[in-house]
C-alpha cells in the first residue's frame, strides 16, 4: 500500500503545482462538488442556512460554513462546520425543547489532478476529516471520521456542463464506509445567472437513499454569489426534504488585485 501511496502523492502534488489559476467558483449549493479549486492565496467564505426535515426530525442549520484557502495553484485547504438548532419528533409529536449545537469541525483539502481536455474530464481529489470531540453532545465523534471523493466535470457547451462524484464516507459507529455517487447538470444561460439539477445517492449495507436537488445561483459581482436550493428524498419527499439559502464571497484575489494596481 505504501508503494502505491507515495507515487500517487507525488503525482497529485506535481499536478497541483503546475495547475492554472481558477476563476471564481463556489462549492455551494448542492450535494455534489465541482473540481475547480480557488486560486493561490485566495480566501473564500461560503456561508448558508437551511431548514431540514428528515423523517419527522426537524432541524435548522443557521450557520453552514466553509472556508477555502488556496495554498498553491491547484490545491486548497478547507475548514467547515455547522451551527444547528434542532428538535426531535416522537410518534409525530414535536418535543417542546429546541437545542443548539455544533456539528463538529472538519478540515481537508481539494487537489486538482487534471485540467480536462476534450472528452477527458477535469479531475480533482477531495479529502476531509472530522476532528473528534469538536461537536456538540449529540453530534461529536469519538474518533477521526474521514471522507474521500473523486470529482469530475465535462463541459458540453458554453452554457452546459456535466459533473459527477464518487466517494466513500465513514462515521464512527461502523467500520464500513458508505458509498456516495452524484450526477449534476449545470446550466449557465447568462454570465451572472446559473442553475442546476442533480441526483445523489448514499449506498450502504443498511439501505440506500436517493435524493434529487435543484437550485439557482446569481452573481452580484465578480466575487459575490447568492444561491438557493431545494433537496428532496425521492422515496419520501413529503417527510424528508431541505430548503437552503446561501452566499459565497471571495474575500480576496491577490493576482487580480496586483493586475489592477
Decide: 74 and 37 in contact? Cβ < 8 Å.
yes
Q: Rounded to whole angstroms, what are the CA distances from 112 to 50, 149, 217, 238, 241?
A: 29, 12, 24, 38, 32
Which residues have a Cβ under 8 Å from the Cβ of 144 and sit 6 or more positions away? 129, 130, 131, 132
CATH number at residue 231: 2.40.160.40
pLDDT along the chain (261 residues), means of 10: 41 41 83 96 97 86 97 96 82 67 96 92 97 91 95 95 97 87 97 96 91 97 96 91 97 76 60
Looking at residue 97, what is its pLDDT? 75
**How far is 208 from 179, CA to CA, in rounded Å?**
9
Burial class (CB in 10 A: 0-12, 13-18, 19+), 25: middle
Cell 444547528 sits on residue: 84
Total domains, the chain: 1
Q: What are phi and psi of 75, to 5 degrees?
A: -145, 130
pTM: 0.87
Print burial letters for 214-245: b (CB count within 10 Å at least 16), e (below 16). Answer: ebebebeeebebebbbebbbeeeeeebbbebb
Query: How many Å separate Cα 30 from the centre of its chain?
Result: 7
Query: Would you state the pLDDT for residue 95?
Result: 56
- pLDDT for residue 19: 40
Domain range for 192 is 2-260
Kind of pairing, strands 193-203 and 99-102?
Answer: unpaired
**Residue 3, pLDDT score:** 46
Amino acid at each position: 500500500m505504501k508503494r502505491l501511496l507515495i507515487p500517487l502523492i507525488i503525482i497529485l502534488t506535481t499536478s497541483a503545482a503546475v495547475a492554472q489559476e481558477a476563476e471564481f467558483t463556489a462549492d455551494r449549493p448542492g450535494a455534489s462538488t465541482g473540481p475547480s479549486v480557488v486560486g493561490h492565496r485566495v480566501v473564500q467564505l461560503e456561508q448558508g442556512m437551511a431548514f431540514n426535515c428528515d423523517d419527522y426530525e426537524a432541524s435548522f442549520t443557521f450557520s453552514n460554513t466553509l472556508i477555502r484557502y488556496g495554498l498553491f495553484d491547484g490545491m486548497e485547504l478547507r475548514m467547515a462546520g455547522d451551527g444547528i438548532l434542532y428538535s426531535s419528533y416522537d410518534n409525530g409529536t414535536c418535543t417542546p425543547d429546541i437545542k443548539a449545537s455544533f456539528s463538529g469541525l472538519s478540515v481537508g483539502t481539494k487537489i486538482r489532478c487534471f485540467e480536462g481536455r476534450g472528452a477527458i474530464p477535469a479531475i480533482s481529489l477531495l479529502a476531509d476529516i472530522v476532528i473528534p470531540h469538536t461537536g456538540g453532545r449529540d453530534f461529536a465523534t469519538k474518533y477521526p471520521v474521514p471522507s474521500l471523493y473523486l470529482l469530475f466535470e465535462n463541459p458540453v457547451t458554453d452554457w452546459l456542463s456535466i459533473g459527477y462524484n464518487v466517494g466513500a464516507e465513514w462515521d464512527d459507529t461502523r467500520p464500513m464506509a458508505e458509498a456516495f455517487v452524484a450526477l449534476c447538470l449545470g446550466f449557465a444561460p447568462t454570465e451572472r445567472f446559473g442553475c442546476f439539477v442533480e441526483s445523489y445517492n448514499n449506498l450502504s449495507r443498511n439501505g440506500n437513499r436517493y435524493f434529487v436537488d435543484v437550485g439557482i445561483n446569481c452573481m452580484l459581482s465578480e466575487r459575490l454569489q447568492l444561491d438557493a436550493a431545494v433537496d428532496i428524498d425521492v422515496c419520501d419527499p413529503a417527510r424528508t426534504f431541505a430548503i437552503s439559502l446561501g452566499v459565497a464571497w471571495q474575500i480576496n484575489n491577490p493576482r487580480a488585485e496586483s493586475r489592477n494596481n
